[in-house]
Amino acid sequence: MADIGSLLCGDDEHEGLARSALQQLSRSISTFAGKSVGFLSSEASIDAQVFGPFCARVLLENGCAALVGRLDAFRMLYLSEFQAQPQYETGKRAKSAFSWAGDVIPEEKTKEMWSVDHDVPKISRALFSSYVSHVFWEPAVERMLDFVSSKTTELDVADLLSLDAENYINSTKGKCLQLYSTLSKGVHWEFFTSSLLFDEESVKSMIRDTLVLVSQLGLISHFIPTAHASLSPERAFDLYCSFRRDIP
Amino acid sequence: MNLQVDEGTDSGLILAAEECPPESFEKFHSFSTNDNVIIRKLSAHGPVLIRGGRGSGKSALLIEAYRRMRAGEAVFPVYISLRYLPLLQSDGPEYIQHFCMLLSEHIQKELSLRGFAEDFPSVSEEIRLQLGLAQLSQNLNRRIVLLFDDAAHIGREKPLEVFFDLFRTISSNLTSCKASIYPGVTKFGVRFDVFNDSTVVDISRSDVAAVPDFFPEVVRARYPKLAQRSMFSDRLSPQQFANLLGRAVVGNLRGFILACNRFLLQEKIGIPEMSKCFLEMAQDYYWPLMDEVAPKLGVYEPLIEPARELIEAIVENSARPVKSGQRTIAQDRVLIHRQLVSQNIKLFEISEYLGFVARREASRAMKSGGRGPVFAINLCSLLDSIPSTRLTNEMMEEWLSGAQEAAEIHISGQAFSSIKLPALVEEHGLAILTKQVSVLGKSSAYPYGLGPNVIDRLRNAGIHTVGELVSKTNEELDRIEYIGDVRIQQIRDVLYQAIWM
């Protein structure tokens, strides 16, 4: 299977703490993406129903964590350092730990983006915040579109070319929220009614949506000039195409 | 979809999937790999909006999802067309009441049809509908999927906000709502967040180079005769025929089927026959479509003329280099500066809806600076505007390859300078309902319209407007002298075409 780990985590040519953190995430992403693609490509099975949502959720979380790390190296390095400290205990919740709500999904209350009254801590650096969207994702989507439209490939890239830079993060955030919530229901087994159990169509649909979503985010991240460990656009697009060919 | 090609009776409604007899549906419909992904999404947990222009195949996807779910045991699916006049004429609490009644009746009908012992109450309030759905899911031990077809009418936006509110309210872990909408649907109301409360799936088939097997597959399923090599000249293969027709109608399935119908009586098909088909489609299908749709556009009716000017300007922009000898082949795609698109957004939505253009790319950098979306242009209109009006082998190959550079219309150019947007009035309902019944007479817009004799008889019976006619029951119409079952069906068919999208 194509190297989806590198598509999300970038190259591993840079020495240092960031490299080992991203290498670890890359291995995890590749493992869970491989399992997810396997479930998607196979006939319905109990394994797919039980483990499919779990694998897809890990992929979604790890993929987003890798992107947070590459876009905000300080956050990644802080977490790496902190987890090596004696104060970090695995059995105890750390308030500064990586979290879905906060690091990925912003807690934005104000609609007004630009104001002299905004304090720095309130300017969200979450992966899908309006600020990160404005400074990183929107221009990156446009660069990606120009690059992809200049390429010829046998892969149907209509879904990529239809991405709207302005709405990309709003739309991706909405999809992530829905996927995370639904996949979690498959993980937590919180259902007390059997009519809610995920059937093959639901599991496969969720897995596919997750694979497509993280691969698109991974591709676009390499068009952010300040992102850490970015691949060349050609290499990123090759990886993306190889990966998408494996997704039925 | 009426499978007969008898022009006297098909009333122009031969193309709607929802009209296809259920026993023939499978035989006459084929689905691509991408379609199967959409169908799976329509069957899975979660709210989905499926978006595409007129005749893009939305209904077929909803019906196929319904058919597949019916064959399984995990889901109780209900397919419901919202082509119901009271919904079009109401808003607010009245709309909610009609909607709840209509949905509960359909659920009960589906339960009876499937032989389930459970009953569904006839309800007129959303809270009772919600409770009823939750109860039903528990009793059946299945989750419920509601497939709403024709949820959006391009000419009536106000009730749409109520619809999306209902869509959100009744969506739950036990009930998944799916609905088909048009590209021009932008008013979702204050409670419905399109990004968080649904997943939007766009249907686009205009790029035949990227998906080269879809249209040939449709031809093999629907028109086996047109898939035979012996039907074609040496310079035209069945694959090229299907893909060129698909590309010509910018991937619109309704346009595609209409185009295929024109070849059924041919003995041999070559490039000149394709050329003739394109030109005829431009003249007797696409331009008359404007007249047919105008009175259905409601508050946007005054935009139909500017939309016509917009299309003419786009086509002229692509044909001009051929006229001046700068190019031998007209560019079949156009990159338009985004500011021009946003200034004329409704005109683009109407043009897309009618199948004159199809959005191919969301945004691309222009050579002359700035950015904008790329649209594929309808090849029927394009060929009609080229001086030779003759399709050549070179054109066919270039247009099929998709490799041609897109034309550009820049903000500083004059291409759209003559287009004036009229001021729009408050939404007041559909103009078609207040028009005289004579508009339903035979015309280029209604090729299977009513004869003058029928129109006179309706008038003599005191039926003067389309709104009055549509409110009459079959029994009331039957009482009019010389109007029997066949004429009543014809009246219903023409009304259907005149009112619905």
User: What pTM did the predictor assign?
Assistant: 0.89
At B156 the pLDDT is 74
Cβ within 8 Å, pair A156-B34: yes
At B147 the pLDDT is 98
Cβ within 8 Å, pair A201-B196: no
> DSSP string covering A131-143, please?
HHIIIIIHHHHHH
At A239 the pLDDT is 97
Task: Report the residue from B44, B195, B363 with minimal CB separation from A145.
Answer: B363
Question: CA-to-CA distance for B282 and B303, rounded, in angstroms?
Answer: 20
B361 — contact with chain A (CB < 8 Å)?
A: yes
Find the residue in B nearest to A199 (Cα): B74
Closest CA to B257 of B230, B226, B233: B226
Tell which B residues from 370 to 389 touch A, by Cβ distance under 8 Å: 371, 374
Task: Report the residue from A145, A171, A195 with minimal CB separation from B195.
Answer: A171
Q: Reduce the DSSP state of residue B148 to 3 states and report it.
A: strand
Phi-psi region of A178 (alpha: psi -120 to 50; beta: other; left: phi over 0): alpha
B134 — contact with chain A (CB < 8 Å)?
A: no
Task: Report the residue from B33, B194, B204 with minimal CB separation from A158.
Answer: B204
- The interaxial angle of helices A200-221 and A46-71, nearest 10 deg, is 20
At B394 the pLDDT is 94
Query: Residue B49 corresponds to which tokens in the numbers above?
Result: 């909006």
Closest CA to B351 of B409, B308, B302: B308
Closest CA to A124 of A99, A142, A143: A99
| Rg for chain A, CA atoms, rounded | 18
3-state helix/strand/coil string of A88-117 = CCCCCCCCCCCCHHHHHECCCCCCCCCCCC
Closest CA to A55 of A4, A125, A13: A4
Tell me which residues of chain A have a pLDDT lower than 70: 1, 110, 188-196
Cβ within 8 Å, pair B196-A174: yes
Cβ within 8 Å, pair B72-A199: yes
Cβ within 8 Å, pair B207-A158: yes
Residue B178 forms beta bridges with which residues? B48, B147
Query: b vs e for B332-370, b when ≥16 Cβ sit within 10 Å of the residue's Cβ?
Result: bbbbbbbebbeebebbbbbbbbbbbbbbbbbbbbbeeeb
DSSP letter (8 states) at residue B194: T
Bridge-based pairing state of the strands B143-149 and B175-181: parallel
Query: b vs e for B88-103, b when ≥16 Cβ sit within 10 Å of the residue's Cβ?
Result: bbbbeeebbbbbbbbb
Find the residue in B nearest to A200 (Cα): B44
Residue B409 forms beta bridges with which residues? B336
B120 contacts B136 by C-beta, under 8 angstroms? yes
B403 — contact with chain A (CB < 8 Å)?
A: yes
At B331 the pLDDT is 96
Cβ within 8 Å, pair A201-B363: no
A183 contacts A171 by C-beta, under 8 angstroms? no
At A152 the pLDDT is 84
Question: CA-to-CA distance for A247 and B8, rounded, in angstroms?
Answer: 47
Tell which B residues from 4 to 33 touch A, by Cβ distance under 8 Å: 33
At A193 the pLDDT is 63
Tens-digit pLDDT profile for residues B342-388: 999 999 999 998 899 999 999 999 998 999 999 999 999 999 999 99
Task: Report the residue from A145, A158, A205 with minimal CB separation from B364.
Answer: A145
Tell me which residues of chain B have a pLDDT lower than 70: 1-16, 427-429, 501
What are the residues whose beta carbons fall under 8 Å from the beta carbon of B445, sequence distance 6 or more?
A: B288, B289, B291, B292
Question: CA-to-CA distance for B162 and B154, rounded, in angstroms?
Answer: 15
Q: Reduce the DSSP state of residue B135 to 3 states and report it.
A: helix
At B9 the pLDDT is 34
Query: Residue B31 corresponds to which tokens in the numbers above?
Result: 């689905």
Write the ipTM: 0.89
At A1 the pLDDT is 67
Cβ within 8 Å, pair B211-A156: yes
At B340 the pLDDT is 97
Residue with tokens 């079949």: B332
At B497 the pLDDT is 79
φ/ψ of residue A217, rounded to 5: -60, -45
Closest CA to B96 of B123, B119, B77: B123
Q: Cα B159 vs. chain centroid, distance in angstroms?
A: 19
Neighbours of A87 (CB within 10 A): 7
Q: Reduce the DSSP state of residue B124 to 3 states and report it.
A: coil
B73 — contact with chain A (CB < 8 Å)?
A: no
Q: Which residues of B touch A175 (CB under 8 A)?
A: 195, 199
List the single best residue of A146, A166, A199, A245 to mutate versus B (max B Cβ within 10 A).
A199
Residue with tokens 């990159």: B335
**What Cα–Cα distance (Å) separates residue A38 from each residue in A45, A247, B426?**
11, 9, 54
Query: Exposure of A205 by Cβ count < 10 A (0-12 exposed, 13-18 middle, 19+ buried)?
Result: buried
At A190 the pLDDT is 55
DSSP letter (8 states) at residue A222: T
Question: CA-to-CA distance for A47 and A39, rounded, in angstroms?
Answer: 8
Question: CA-to-CA distance for B59 and B82, rounded, in angstroms?
Answer: 12
Task: Report the residue from A165, A178, A201 with minimal CB separation from B43.
Answer: A201
At B1 the pLDDT is 33
Task: Report all structural domains of chain B as residue ranges with CATH numbers, in order of start.
Answer: 31-202 (3.40.50.300), 294-427 (no CATH), 435-499 (1.10.150.20)
Using CA of residue B306, residue B312, residue B315, residue B319, what is the dihedral sign? negative
